[in-house]
A and B are shown apart, each in its own frame.
Chain A
């Protein structure tokens, strides 16, 4: 017979009060609860409404809810719970504000530092079908931060831009109407740039949207060679 409950263990930490984090266990009904996000909502609604986590779209689009659960990163709203214990942790490498809510500021800072916007060149031709098809596939990153947390280099070297920022760089390198390709490449080839990536592929594994940041980084490197 299938069990009627899920076992959940959640990382709890209030940096202003606690000296150390702890894991709190909850046993919650299965009915109506399928994903990690369902479980968090259930706990907040019925057990302890101080449990802090982020979520908005609940359909894997907005990138709010990335967490670590059962040995991997993912979006809470997309990860199904499993039998046995489900251990939910916040994203690593980012300071915890409370429980599963981390301060994303370092992540956004890196992203914004690489000029994540089109600087249109005045002489580009009209709209090109082939280029557009390519671009449609280059915009899937939802900036959830999972790759940033999984990457060993972002932890070691705070100046390293991180996989998501490089995905954004690569998106604009692929845009044939962008005018600052040279600048973009110069920005990322420095000593804390793409070449610090040692192809561990942790980012690919962490990414819930199959963006394959590591492949994007390789593509940038090829442009530099």
Chain B
């Protein structure tokens, strides 16, 4: 058994930022990740993060324009989320965002600048002001590396305070009397399992996009990371809100960053027309419309027979010119050339929508607390209620970083307060470990017929077809049925080739799939239960919003998914007629 003050699950942006925060508060921290920190999914984020820094004037908090600009950031995010955001966490995020950026800058993150030394800010979709900071189109890479570099520095300076456990897969969250007590993880190359005891735990396991087939997410964003705390009883929020990105390459679903649209690329149908002009909700802002709107209208265009190869539309970056593409979108250029075999400076790129970001996640408040004592969460696996029903481009990264620091603060305070309290007993840990070992053995010894990949493909097909941009009751019921069957097959009829735990991808894939199926099930149930259309959640059978703004709260008890609703915590009236991104009104 290993014991720490704080255990952090995940070493992406949120996990590493939280680690820095906790070590600075002088606690003993373990970070557990199934991949090396520098392989974490967040590094594919290209576009950037949002913060109010300056308005062409001084980049100082004392700039009189700053409070007004922050109000606009809040308003943009709120409107973009169809006013489903909770006030307190959203305001917290916006107010603390500049600090996060300055800190990254101080640690060496080379944010792109204008010639005069001010930050280069991009104006992304559905916002009133440019506030998207970026490192050309390598933002995720640059931020992740900066955080890791600082972790290395801390580890060299305070070796007893920070430890990384790389390529350890977290399988279970241990809870004792509604307080988090530790986790069980398996070292992937040796197959060894171990209990990590902790005074408090920060969950930062990232996204779950791989429950879909059409997703921009890394292969490792399976959902197991989120399924683990769910089975320990944590409450999730708004899992039906799944963000789709409009511009992914067909087949691989590698995402061409929305920064391309922000910089002036166009979306064209088969006839070469800017089809967004023919839909009411995208007529005004065209390619800078909110992402949910663009995704729906791309599908409508394809359904009307005006798509490319019956499943795509064209992204036209030729308008940007070769020089600009090379200068500010070098990664995008490389991705197009290597994975679409086309040069964006001279050729049209076929694109289609696909899953990109999970808005839903562990229900947290503005202190990053979950409903299990001592369990805090940040990043994509959490939902503090910032994004409402549709995330504004660039806010997810900001949210991850701001709430990671908050989680570090809250978790540190909790750990100090409970320093002398015993979290969980020896018997609890021993029994839990034994139970987990038995499960692993069972998985490897079921003499079944069905390969993990077959089940995974079926799940992804069901999710793509029924829980995508457009949904309806009948389809969701079918998906729910299908997923339940897949769960049963996985438990009873799984085939694995290897019989050892050690470095066995067959085992890890099966474990990941088990987590994916849990999350897929939850998304489908939550989507089925919300009988209305709002933001990213569009039900063909209920195409309008209902009377009251509600978050869904989801809990799993003994394999039963229970959903209830709670009102959005906002003092602002719901002005349904204000669709997101009406630039004209905002400016």
Q: Do A and B bind each other?
A: yes
- A residues with a Cβ closer than 8 A to B are 14, 16, 32, 44-46, 48-64, 78, 97-98, 101, 104, 108, 112, 115-120, 126-129, 132, 135-136, 139-140, 142-143, 172, 175, 177-178
Whether A142 contacts B141 by the Cβ 8 Å rule is yes
Q: Which of B495-514 contact A (CB under 8 A)?
A: 496-498, 502-506, 509
Are A45 and B451 in contact, CB atoms less than 8 angstroms apart? Answer: yes
Cα of A59 to Cα of B505 in the assembled complex, Å = 21
Other than the given A56-B220, A115-B156, A132-B111, 12 more pairs (CB < 8 A) read A44-B505, A46-B453, A49-B497, A52-B503, A54-B39, A56-B41, A60-B338, A64-B36, A98-B189, A136-B135, A136-B138, A142-B38
Q: Which of B35, B114, B503 contacts A56 (CB 8 A)?
A: B35
> Which of A58, A117, A129, A177 sits near B252, CB closer than 8 Å?
A58
Of the candidates B44, B106, B503, which one forms a contact with A59 in the assembled complex, judged by CB atoms under 8 Å apart? B44
How far apart sit A60 and B254, CA to CA, in the bound complex (Å)?
Answer: 10
CB < 8 Å: which of B44, B108, B496 contacts A61?
B44
Q: Does B502 contact A16, Cβ atoms closer than 8 Å?
A: yes
Chain A's closest residue to B189 (CB) is: A97
B117 contacts A126, CB within 8 Å?
Answer: yes
Interface contact A175-B108, CB-CB below 8 Å: yes
Residue contacts A-B, CB under 8 angstroms, 6 given: A48-B497, A57-B39, A59-B252, A62-B35, A132-B113, A172-B108
Q: Is B373 in contact with chain A by the CB < 8 A criterion?
A: no
Q: Which listed residue, A14, A44, A63, touches B38 by the CB 8 Å rule?
A: A63
A179 to B179, CA, bound (A): 45
* Minimum CB distance partner of A135 in chain B: B110
Pick from A51, A97, A117: contact of B108, CB under 8 Å: A117
Query: How many Å lie between the Cα of A120 and that of B335 in the bound state?
Result: 34
Interface residue B585 (Cβ < 8 Å from any Cβ of A): no
Please state if B338 and A78 are interface contacts (CB–CB under 8 Å).
Answer: yes
The residue from B38, B111, B506 contacting A50, defined by CB atoms under 8 A apart: B506
Interface residue B107 (Cβ < 8 Å from any Cβ of A): yes
A116 in contact with B453 (CB, 8 Å) = no
Q: Which residues of A contact B451 (CB under 8 A)?
A: 45-46, 49
Q: Does B311 contact A (CB under 8 A)?
A: no
Is residue B63 contacting chain A, with contact meaning CB distance below 8 A?
no
Complex: A200 Cα to B494 Cα, angstroms: 50
Q: Could you tell me if B110 and A132 are in contact, using CB atoms closer than 8 angstroms?
A: yes
A198 to chain B, nearest CB (A): 29
User: Least Cβ distance of B471 to chain A in Å?
Assistant: 27
Give the shortest distance, in Å, between B79 (CB) and chain A (any CB): 31
Smallest CB gap from A143: residue in B: B38
- The smallest C-beta distance from B433 to any residue of chain A, in angstroms, reads 23
Chain B residues whose CB sits within 8 angstroms of the CB of A136 once the complex forms: 110, 112, 135-136, 138
Q: In the complex, which residues of chain A have a beta carbon less than 8 angstroms from the beta carbon of B44?
A: 57, 59, 61-62
